[in-house]
């Protein structure tokens, strides 16, 4: 009987600590997120601006394959592929995360459209996701928590927001959720 209780206690400890949360490819995803966080410690905004300007010059129309090629060239010597992956994902997702009317307003009222869109996405999407990250289970690394939050968000909770609801972010695919959180964590002031 005591062995049964020991096994039950071990089960509780393992599941509560997240060791039982192993998913296919989970380790590889967490490793990639950690690499991106490390690479984005050095001048993330400069890399983002460089990729954005290069995409504007070369990619007409803007297509993912072209954006990846541009990012690969930018990082060929710098060794910033993981960071570029995050930046390309964020830039490609802008059109879905920011509605057309808001984008037009940003064009009319700002001389630097890209900075305005980054600020808009930060306020409307990234901050809300960051709040969910803070509320997530602690104890694991930031990268592991980002991975778990984004998987659970998309495959478990899949929340819905009422139209026009403030501070509510609905369905966000895993890759966009990760890219948004990694960018926010990397560029938050004081980091």
Partner 1 sequence: MSAKRGVLIGVKSIAIAVVALVAAALTLRAGISLDHLHEMTVASAFAIGLFAATTAALVAFGARPRTTSRAAVGLRDGRPALHVDLPRAHPDVRELPSLVQRALLVFTFACLGLSTFTTDATARIVAVPDDLTKPSRAAYCLPKPKEEQPKIEVAAPVPEPVVDQAGCALVKRAYALGYAKSLGSCAPRAAKPAPVAPVTPQAEEVCDRRELDEPFLHYTWRRLVETVQGSSPVDYASTKYRDLTTRVDYLDDLLADIKHSITGTPHGSHHIWITLPDPHPSSALHVFTGEEPCTSRFAAVPLWPAWSASSPPGAIVEHALGQLLFATRFGTPASCMDYTLHWGASPDACAKLAANPAAFLDAADALEPIRAVLDRRQRQAALRTMMDDLGHPSTMPAPPPASYVASVACLVVAVGAPPAFTGRSITVDGATLQLREAHIAAITPTGAGPVELYTQLARLLAGAAPSPRIAASTDGSDPTDASAPNDAPPDVARPTRVVEPLVVDAATVAAFPLASLEPYAAHDPFTSADVRAQLAEPALVAVYPFDRHLHAFVEAFRRMYFAQRGRL
Q: Which stretch binds partner 1 (CB under 8 A): 7-15, 24-32, 40-48, 129-137?
A: 24-32
In this structure, are residues 66 and 59 in contact, taking their beta carbons and an 8 Å threshold?
yes
Closer Cβ to partner 1, 100 or 189, answer by number: 100
Q: Is residue 71 a contact point for partner 1 (CB under 8 A)?
A: yes
Which of 178, 181, 185, 186 is in the footprint of partner 1 by CB under 8 A?
Answer: 178
Q: Is residue 85 a contact point for partner 1 (CB under 8 A)?
A: yes
Task: Look up residue 126 and give its DSSP letter.
Answer: I
**Strand, helix or coil for residue 20:** helix
Q: Is residue 88 a contact point for partner 1 (CB under 8 A)?
A: yes
Which of 28, 57, 135, 166 is in the footprint of partner 1 by CB under 8 A?
Answer: 28
Which of 9, 13, 170, 188 is in the footprint of partner 1 by CB under 8 A?
Answer: 170
Residues forming the site for partner 1 (CB under 8 A): 23-26, 28-29, 32, 61, 63-65, 67-68, 71-72, 81, 84-86, 88-89, 92-93, 95-102, 107-111, 124, 151, 154-161, 163, 170-171, 173-175, 178-179
């Amino acid at each position: 009987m005591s062995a049964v209780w020991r096994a039950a206690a071990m089960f509780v400890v393992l599941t509560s600590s997240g060791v039982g949360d192993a998913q296919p490819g989970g380790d590889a995803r967490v490793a990639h997120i950690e690499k991106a966080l490390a690479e984005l410690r050095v001048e993330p905004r400069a890399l983002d601006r460089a990729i954005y300007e290069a995409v504007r010059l070369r990619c007409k129309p803007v297509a993912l394959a072209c954006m990846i090629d541009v990012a690969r060239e930018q990082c060929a010597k710098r060794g910033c592929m993981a960071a570029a992956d995050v930046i390309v994902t964020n830039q490609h997702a802008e059109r879905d995360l920011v509605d057309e009317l808001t984008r037009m307003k940003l064009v009319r009222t700002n001389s630097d459209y890209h900075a305005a869109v980054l600020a808009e996405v930060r306020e409307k999407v990234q901050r809300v996701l960051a709040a969910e990250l803070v509320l997530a289970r602690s104890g694991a690394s930031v990268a592991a928590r980002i991975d778990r939050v984004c998987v659970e968000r998309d495959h478990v909770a899949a929340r819905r927001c009422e139209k026009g609801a403030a501070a509510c972010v609905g369905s966000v695919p895993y890759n966009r959720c990760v890219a948004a959180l990694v960018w926010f964590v990397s560029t938050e002031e004081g980091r």
